[in-house]
Amino acid sequence: MSDEEVPTVHEDVSNKENENLADTSIVSDSGFGLRRSTRTPKPRVLIDKATETEERNAAEAAERRRISNAKAKQKAKLKQKALEKEKQMLIVKKEKEKERLKKQKLKQKEKEKAKKAKEKEKEKNKKKLLQLKAIKKNPTIAGGKIDKNVKVKEASLDYIPPVNTENWTPMLPLSTLDFKNAHSVISRFKNPNLMAVPYAGDVMKLMSFINKFYIFFDNELLNLSFQDFEIGLDLYPVTPQDIGMEFDNKKLLYQDYISVKEVIACQDKMNLVFLSLLRLLFDSSDSDRSREHNPVASLADLQTSKKVYAKYIEKLRETSLDWGYPQEWRKQINEGDDISKPKSKMFENDDTIPVDPKNPLILTENIYEWQKLAPIDEEDNPLFVPDIEKIGILALYPNDRIILFRALVDWCSANSPKVHNEIHFLSHFKKDPTFGIQTQHVPRYFLEGSKTTMLQFQRLCEIMEIRMEVRSKRKHVKKQIAEGKNEDFAKKMEILNHIKASYSSLTAEEKKKSIIENYDNWTKLFKGELHDNPLSDPYEDELYKLRSQEFFISRIPQVGDFYIPRLHSYSDSPVSVSTYTDLRSLENLLDKFNDGKYDTHYLFENFGQALSSQFKLLYHDTPTLISDMGKPRAKKGKVYWYEMCQDSNTLLEFIDFLDYKIASPVEKPKKKVKEEVENNTSENLQAIPEAKEPEPENVETDVKNEEPENLDPTINKKPLPKESRFNASRRKLKQLQDYLKRLYHILHAFEQLKKEYAGMKSGKRTLRRIQRRITYNDSDFDEDDERDNDEDNDEDEYPRANKKYRRE
């Protein structure tokens, strides 16, 4: 045993003493003096800070996991509800779509049934009409008994064919749907007289306004021609190549080849139009409802004061901003800007998902700022030109003059009390047009042709004859006539019997002519049955006045429309010669001029210069205009109006030019076409002979199957394409050519009327004075002496304008 393992005596004694002390303390601590266990509780040991931090973090992480799990469960529930809601919405949408399709199918079936029923009814009516005609022509029918050989039911005798199911009016709607899928090519009408007229639409609008509201304008303005507006406003047509280019100073001005007196007269008339429109705007009152011819201004008013326009211009400057400026007088938007998109918005980041998808309406709607066409500054504003108060419309640039006239027409239509009263009268009749309210109306004989209009009238007369004959055979009608109760119908039957007796021995062609000759008697039969008939005057009934296109003369399919703007469509004078009348009167007038019964001398002696002395034939590129309207942004400065001729000489040239377009295109033989493909060189193309084709039937033309290539670069001699859709265009061009050939004599007579009798009043007394002044020796004729002798006598007949007002 080692020294370290042997305990000492002192250590053993101390250990024993400690044990005894512990035993005594345990016994003394017990209340019962009992001895407790020797196991003593140990004091708690403090936890380290690091351990405490870890436990705390673990607890927070557990709490976060619990919260996130709860949120995830909530989101999952909401998502599930949203999906269920979407499913329900889709189911509802599908059910609604099914119901809509069912209703649509039902409507379609109903329409088809109605269509079939109408077609069946029409077929029945046609059969009944044929049966009635057979009964009329068959002599076996006597005493109300029908021969068995004629298979007609007795019920057909009582059938009265309807007359109100078709449109018999002298006016027809001019629909834009005719050119819905058409594409015109202006180069087809290339000829030396073709000119682009960008301002033609505005001038025609002003002329139409004067025409419809002529009671407010002076007589000096009621026979203005298109050229008068061009000269007075200093407007010039341009060649199609010069569209959009600045005016060439080298070109001739009007005063270079027209007398200064005529130019000044046209300028004075433009100022008179300007003053009349201003007075219609500001001087007219709502209390004045008279429809008599009462001009608001005259040429004498222009000479009363140098500032006759001043007070009206001041008012116009104040109110024009509220009425709306024309587009040309506004600040233009840059080409790169998109008009359909807003320029800016107040809440840039507003297009997000709302916080609460259940209440999206609590958000404030976004406020957008759109592109604005603000008026131009006063420095550039034509209305603020100082000279406009002194010299009127002539103080502006030529383009601004016609723009201001267009704006004044719009402002008068919207704000003039007198014009409002007239519009109210013309739009509140007890009847409406048969074809409904359409934007534009034109005469039937111009849209369908004179022959078709005549046939329509003959067909109407045949239906009326059958109606009256069937009605006269009914028992109650016979009884009423016998008792003298139905006198109107008895008189109509007398007229019908008289008409039938007049053409009983005539042939079919002679009978058709006789129907037209008995027009007055037929109109008596139409009374109480129809309001209009195809041959009635389209300009007489004021029901069509507001929407009538008086200057329209023809519509060519796949090509466009043609117009001859001339004033004096409506007149208060009972005796006047006018092309604005019914078809029968127009045909009679054209025949008299063509036969030489009417000439310039007769016109001046009996009628004077009632119509415009000059004219222009204008072509409107309607198909291109309609197609451009459907585009989001049309080309700026594009022209849709073109001048085809400007006087009687150029009209004859245009009539000859139409021969090339009416002729059918020449087809090349197949062998020649193959050679042309193989030898694709210019020499071989010129060497190929041309195949000849006979002229089309029912078309009189002097064109001799010329080469399709244009030898003259200034004229396009190629015919219209050979496609079948252009056959109608050729027929319509032939109708237009025939009408222009007959109209030429009238237009030429009025041109000569201006040249020979310019500045004179109509009457036989004037003609006698002219004859007295004729001399055959120029040396013996003293103009000064003759003028001095006749000055006093002619002062009242030829009033002179104040020279101080004249301007160069």
Report pLDDT digits (tens) over 124-183: 777 777 766 665 554 433 333 434 443 334 435 567 888 888 889 999 999 888 888 888
Is 588:594 a contact under the CB 8 Å cutoff? no
| % of residues, the chain, pLDDT over 70 | 73
Residues 323 and 410 in one domain: yes
Residues 119 and 122: their CA atoms lie apart, in Å, by 5
Residues 221 and 102 in one domain: no
50: its two tokens = 């690091």
Q: Tell me: the pLDDT tens digits for 763-786?
A: 554 444 443 343 334 444 444 444
Residues 203 and 308 in one domain: yes
Residues 318 and 398 in one domain: yes
**Residue range 488-505: average pLDDT?**
88
pLDDT at residue 637 is higher than 70: yes
Average pLDDT, the chain: 78
Residue 535 lies in a domain: no
32: its two tokens = 């019962």
What SS3 class is residue 675? helix
Residues 112 and 228 in one domain: no
Residues 150 and 140: their CA atoms lie apart, in Å, by 9
Select from 799, 752, 746, 439 the least CA-distant residue to 564.
746
Residue 12 lies in a domain: yes
Residues 229 and 106 in one domain: no
Q: Tell me: the pLDDT tens digits for 398-434?
A: 999 999 999 999 999 999 999 999 999 888 887 777 7
Residues 11 and 105 in one domain: no
Q: How far from 12 is each of 20, 21, 22, 329, 469, CA to CA, in Å?
A: 13, 15, 16, 127, 163
Domain total of the chain: 3
Q: Which domain holds residue 122?
A: 51-158
**Phi, psi values for residue 620, rounded to 5°:** -105, 120
Is 243:196 a contact under the CB 8 Å cutoff? yes
Alpha-carbon Rg for the chain, nearest whole angstrom, is 47
Residues 273 and 420 in one domain: yes
Residues 33 and 71 in one domain: no
Residues 396 and 252 in one domain: yes
Residue 408 lies in a domain: yes
Q: What is the pLDDT of residue 778?
A: 42
**Residue range 94-108: average pLDDT?**
89
Residue 778 lies in a domain: no
Residue 746 lies in a domain: no
Residue 316 lies in a domain: yes
29-38, 44-53, 597-606: which has the minimum mean pLDDT?
A: 29-38
Residues 309 and 215 in one domain: yes
Q: What is the pLDDT of residue 15?
A: 54
Residue 154 lies in a domain: yes
Residue 410 lies in a domain: yes
What SS3 class is residue 285? coil
Select from 735, 630, 637 the least CA-distant residue to 179.
630
Select from 197, 198, 203, 205 the least CA-distant residue to 226.
203
Q: How far from 34 is each of 20, 266, 313, CA to CA, in Å?
A: 16, 147, 130
Residues 33 and 83 in one domain: no
**Phi, psi values for residue 774, rounded to 5°:** -70, 135
